[in-house]
Amino acid sequence: VRHSPGKEYSHRDCEHQIATGNADNVMLRWSEVNEMLQSGLVEFHVHTHTHTRWDKKFTSREEQCKHLRQDLLSGREYLKKMTGKCSKHLCWPEGYYNK
């Protein structure tokens, strides 16, 4: 989150900034992500593209897996498009999983 003297953004404030076209005020820019990658000090790994809880959206395990797979692939493709690479690691969204 960008620091503005005397201003702290809540999560809701950040969502509003993004919705009103001011995402650069509260999110990393892709240029910053790429600069961080080039430093060699950090790595970025994909999770999902939409952050959807597919286990909550569908009762069918088959549907959950189908949509989750596409969401993961979309996230990988987008990260590769924006940075030129994508690791084989996965950051599991929100820590939720089932067996």
* 96 within 8 A of 55, measured Cβ to Cβ: yes
Phi, psi of 7 (to 5 degrees): -125, 125
Q: What is the DSSP letter of 5?
A: T
The most confident of 19-28, 62-71, 89-98, by mean pLDDT = 62-71
Nearest in space to 82 (alpha carbons), one of 39, 46, 41? 46
Distance CA 27, CA 89 (A): 22
pLDDT tens, residue by residue, 42-55: 999 988 888 888 88
* 71 within 8 A of 54, measured Cβ to Cβ: yes
